[in-house]
Every structure is written in C-alpha cells, then in structure tokens.
Amino acid sequence: MKHLEIMKSPVELNLNDYRMTGEPVINQVRKIKDIPGIFQDEKAYSEMNPDQLAYTVQAWMPVAEGTPGGLFFGVSTIYPGKVGNEYFMTKGHFHSLGDRAEFYWGLHGKGMLILMDRERNTWAEEVYPGSLHYIRDEIAHRLANTGNEKLIVGACWPSDAGHDYEEIAKNGFSARLVEVEGKPIMIV
Ligand code: S6P
Ligand code: ZN
C-alpha cells in the first residue's frame, strides 16, 4: 500500500450467505468418507453415501501457519444430518500449542459446541445466530449440527495454534451428543 491510499481489504464475508470471497481464502471440504471413526454407529456410517458433504471450512490465513502473533479467520458450515442417532459434527481438536484460545460465534442454524478439558470433562454450549463462545486454553472443541438447516459458525484463532487431531482420533471425546426423542442430549 501507498501513503494516503484508500483501498478495499482483499477478503470479504457476504453477510447473507456467509461465504468468504477474495484472496487468499482456503476451502476445505470434509465428506462422510473423510471422517471415519468419529461416529459410534459404524454400521450406520458404512451405509451412508461416502460423498455426502459433512462440513466445509473457509479460512483466511493472512500469515503462514505457525507464525506467532497473527490471527486466522474462518467460517465452518456443518450440514444437517445424522449417523445413527449422532448429529453430523466436526472431527474436533485440541490446539497443538495447547494454551492458544479461540473465539466462535453462531451465524446461522442451530447446533452445539462440544468442549472437553484435559481431564476429559465434556460439556456443551448451544450455538445459534448471535451466540458467542470463548474456547479457552487446553480445551478440545467440536461443532455438531442439531437442526435441519446448515449450521454456520465464525471462528478466529491464533496463527500459531495449530491442530492436534491425534488425541481425539485416538480417544474421542468422553461424551457423545445424541438425539433422543427429537432432542440433543449428552451421554457417556
Ligand atoms: C480452527 C477452528 C475451526 C475448525 C473447523 C473444523 O482452530 O477450530 O476452523 O478447524 O470448525 O473442525 P476440525 O476439528 O475438523 O478442524
Ligand atoms: Zn480450533
């Protein structure tokens, strides 16, 4: 940029459909076949269309991953659906630098933010348009769509946070969010 120049930011968020456009924006797609092992009902999972979309993530990463002091901005969209009695959900992760926090905010649809600490206590916060969520240090986080529409959630996290998927891939969360009589409940 030049001194006194007035310009547009390179990336924008459409406030009607929550799509990000501009450069650089990365687009991640997670289909049912990309998230094996996270749902309890393996039979129901194996009978699903492997190419069905489970969730997408758009992110603006203005600095290289791992850069201290920077921020990333993302929009996660979780599709409506269930595997057995479990709602479509993200893989879930701790941050690789475990003391890095994150903000989430609900934009569209309804769901749950499932949280677990290092002692494996698990709880959840309701997500809806306008809900704000501070995910503190050392807390694993996962989003589940409990509604019939897309769940769309904004996120902002430190550029050096990283993702530790291993712990969740190996041991999961200590509780599951399932639908019983049409309502989401947490069970162990
Ligand atoms: C990144 C942030 C989100 C998730 C996204 C997908 O720290 O928490 O952008 O990456 O919701 O979830 P996951 O667990 O598959 O990365
Ligand atoms: Zn995160």
Residues 96-128 pLDDT 10s? 999 999 999 999 999 999 999 999 999 999 999
Q: For 139-152, what is the mean pLDDT?
A: 98
pLDDT value at 84 more than 90: yes
- Determine the Cα–Cα distance for residues 70 and 91; give it in Å rounded to an integer: 24
- Is the residue at 1 inside a domain? no
| CA 10 / ligand 2 centre spacing (Å) | 24
pLDDT tens-digit map of 48-77 = 999 999 999 999 999 999 999 999 999 999
Give the residue whose CA is nearest to atom 10 of ligand 1: 57
Give the pLDDT score at 170: 96
- Is the residue at 5 inside a domain? no
Q: For 78-88, what is the mean pLDDT?
A: 98
| CA 181 / ligand 2 centre spacing (Å) | 31
- Is the residue at 3 inside a domain? no
With pLDDT > 70 as the criterion, what percentage of the chain qualifies?
A: 100
Give the residue whose CA is nearest to atom 9 of ligand 1: 74
- Is the residue at 56 inside a domain? yes
Instruction: Say which DSSP state 52 is in.
Output: S
The alpha carbon of 104 is separated from its chain's Cα centroid by a whole number of angstroms, namely 9
- Is the residue at 6 inside a domain? no
Give the residue whose CA is nearest to atom 12 of ligand 1: 90
Residue 79: give its domain's CATH number.
2.60.120.10
**Domain count along the chain:** 1
| CA 162 / ligand 2 centre spacing (Å) | 8
- Is the residue at 132 inside a domain? yes
Give the pLDDT score at 25: 98
- The torsion angles phi and psi of 33, rounded to 5 degrees, stand at -70, -15
Give the residue whose CA is nearest to atom 5 of ligand 1: 76
Range of the domain at 138: 17-187
Mutate to test the pocket of ligand 1, among 55, 90, 142, 165 (most ligand atoms within 8 A of CB): 90
Concatenated DSSP letters for 94-149?
B-SSTT--EEEEEEES-EEEEEE-TT--EEEEEE-TT-EEEE-TT-EEEEEE-SSS
- Determine the Cα–Cα distance for residues 80 and 78; give it in Å rounded to an integer: 7
- Is the residue at 7 inside a domain? no
CA-wise closest residue to 104 among 124, 132, 77? 132
Q: What is the dihedral of CA 132, 157, 11, 92, to 10 degrees?
A: -80
Instruction: Say which DSSP state 88 is in.
Output: P
Give the pLDDT score at 172: 97
pLDDT, averaged across the chain: 98
Question: Atom of ligand 1 at shortest distance to CA of 59?
Answer: 9
Give the pLDDT score at 188: 95
Hey, is 90 helix, strand or coil? coil
- Residue 20: strand pairing partners: 13
- Determine the Cα–Cα distance for residues 101 and 157; give it in Å rounded to an integer: 7
| CA 150 / ligand 1 centre spacing (Å) | 16
Give the pLDDT score at 1: 82
With pLDDT > 90 as the criterion, what percentage of the chain qualifies?
A: 99
